[in-house]
Amino acid sequence: MFSQSFGADVYGTKARVIRIEADVSDGLPVFDMVGFLASAVKEARERVRIAVRQMGIRFPAKRITVNLSPANVRKEGTTFDLPIAICLLTAFGHLSKECIKDTMFIGELGLDGSVQSVNGVLAMVLEGKKQGLRQFLVPKGNVKEAAVLEGISLYGVESLSETLRFLRGENSLKKVYIPFEKWDESQEEGLDFSDIKGQEMMKRAAEIAVSGRHNLLMIGPPGSGKTMLAKRLPTILPPMTLEESVEVTRLYSVCGLLGEHASVLKKRPFRAPHHTTTAAALTGGGRIPMPGEITLASKGILFLDELPEFSRSALEVLRQPLEEQKVTIARVGSSHEYPSDCSFVAAMNPCRCGYYPNRDKCRCTTADIKRYLAKISEPLLDRMDLCVETGLPEFSLYEKKGETSKQIRERVERTHRIQKKRYRKENFSYNSELTPQAMKKYCVMGTAEKELLEFLFHEEQMSARRLCRIVRVSRTIADLEKSDTILESHITEAVRFRRGWRRYDKGRRKISVLADFPFRTWFAFCTEVL
């Protein structure tokens, strides 16, 4: 007797629907499984045999062949145990073919017949829905991560016997669906922007960065609040939309980072890897490439603390993903593309001891500072939209109460709404994604502003990338001030943060006066020593 069922597996971050076929015929008693199977899939034969026997059902003394189609792709993982068992029970005559039609089964079987949790359930359910399947039986421990999907019948099962009784109509299971609006939206407890005393420039730069999804670099001595601010950035980010939440949850599910009984993620991710992290861990890798930290930070923030302490290879590998917002990993016979749609935030000291240019405290030689700064290449610095130089706050500021995260988040959400409305007909949603062609359309400015940009371009010997990033940041500053056009004040503020000056004369209209500043900036020093 012939039967078939549907299962799925994940390859990289993508899911594949696999058709399981079973044939029971006369011949020598044997149980074969074919279809280009990895060892974990081949071992399903014994898990299924014992789990079925625990139900009191014995395998017939016949020739049993199970095929996983298509046979030209390698099958990995333990997700096929349940669909193989159901397919065999149908071929044995314990189930009708109609009751498993248009149904996907996902789950690993224990020897006692229990259905164990697996990784990547959300990705598999999404792919099954895309291919027309409407009923899904998944491990009960994974059911919450797919409960937000509409238009399907989703059930969580605990054992093979429970699954069999449900398909026969002998018991009922509760269909699982939880609207996205009802998921918990709680923020990290105990973290708020009001904890940061002073550092108004740094907080302003952070607000601009998250409002337009720009990259941010913070430079300052130890204890100036760089890491403290970075950890509080998620508290001023708006919650994710349904589409963003499903995408992020899918990635975390594939990587096994959701945990048992985890639900859909609604809070934007914040990833802060240690400086010993390798290049492969940042971008992804492995025989079957898995996502790295920059992919896991999609729709959120990737924070690198102590930036120069990361290896040069790890930092340089970030250049292309930051520019293109995607990571492409090639292997023999396959290529994998992962998203890297995140805001990049980094913090560093100006030298190894951390106190340059305060020579009263700094004990680093010029050679020491040169070696320290040489770890960060100019192309990587060129991809930082904002650079803010911080100092140690004064004691009098500790009694001053600053803005709360809620107050800042309201402005950020308003700015995001402005951008999404403006770019509703485009394939992007934020100012950081503006193309040169889109800038001509959406970055409207007057003659004086264009002359200022032209002056900057020639005076500073800017690259085209640097000029584009200044315009993007200016557009975000204009949105924060509810301005339809970019003004000179928006451009000068963008340049101020781009250059990282400690002081800036807002009363001057011409940027040429910046050359008269008595303080050398970090970037100026970096250019000199490198």
Whether pLDDT at 182 is above 90? no
> What six digits make up the tokens of 266?
């609604």
Residue 187 has pLDDT above 60, yes or no: no
Per-residue pLDDT reduced to its tens digit, 326-372: 998 887 777 888 999 999 999 998 888 888 878 788 888 888 888 88
Indicate where the chain has its CATH 3.30.230.10 domain(s).
Answer: 2-178
- 85 versus 353: the higher-pLDDT residue is 85
- Residue 174 half-sphere exposure toward CB, CA atoms < 13 A: 7
Tell me the two tokens of residue 465.
Answer: 């990338």
Q: Which two tokens stand for residue 365?
A: 């030689």
* Mean pLDDT confidence for 445-460: 87
Secondary element (H or E) of residue 153: strand 153-157
**pLDDT value of residue 14:** 86
Average pLDDT, integer, range 449-470: 85
Total length of the chain? 530
Q: How far apart are CA 525 and CA 474, in angstroms?
A: 25
> Which amino acid, 133?
L
Predicted local distance difference test score (pLDDT) of residue 127: 95
Residue type, 120: G
% of the chain surpassing 70 pLDDT: 91
pLDDT for 276-309, tens place per residue? 999 999 998 877 788 999 999 999 999 999 999 9
Residue 178 and residue 154 in contact, taking contact as beta carbons nearer than 8 Å = no
Q: Would you say residue 97 has pLDDT above 80?
A: yes
Q: Annotate 365-412 with DSSP letters as a single string.
A: -HHHHHHHHTTS-HHHHHT-SEEEE--PPPGGGGG-----HHHHHHHH
Amino acid letter, 236 = I
The residues, any chain, with a CB within 8 Å of residue 70's CB and separated by 6 or more, are: 18, 19
According to DSSP, residue 106 is labeled: -
**147: closest CA among 253, 238, 234, 290?**
253
Residues 254 and 9 sit within 8 Å (Cβ to Cβ): no
What is the distance between the alpha carbons of residues 314 and 322, in angstroms, rounded to a whole number? Answer: 13
- Confidence (pLDDT) at 403: 86
Q: Residue 20 — very low, low, confident or very high, per pLDDT cuts 50/70/90?
A: very high
Lookup: tokens for 407: 């107050």
Confidence of residue 194 (pLDDT cuts 50, 70, 90): confident
Name the segment(s) of the chain with CATH classification 3.40.50.300. 193-529
The domain 2-178 having CATH identifier 3.30.230.10: the answer here is: yes
Per-residue pLDDT of 29-80, as tens digits, reads 999 999 999 999 999 999 999 999 999 998 989 999 999 999 998 998 999 9
For 12: left if phi > 0, alpha if psi spans -120 to 50, otherwise beta; the answer is left
CATH topology of domain 193-529: Rossmann fold (3.40.50)
Residue of 154 and 262 predicted with greater confidence = 154
pLDDT at residue 396, rounded to an integer = 57
Q: Give the pLDDT confidence score for residue 460 in this predicted structure.
A: 75
Name the residue type at position 526: C
| pLDDT at site 63 | 94
Per DSSP, the three-state class of 208 is helix
pLDDT score at 47: 95
Mean model confidence pLDDT for the chain: 86
pLDDT tens, position by position, 375-417: 888 888 888 999 988 877 766 556 667 789 999 999 999 999 9
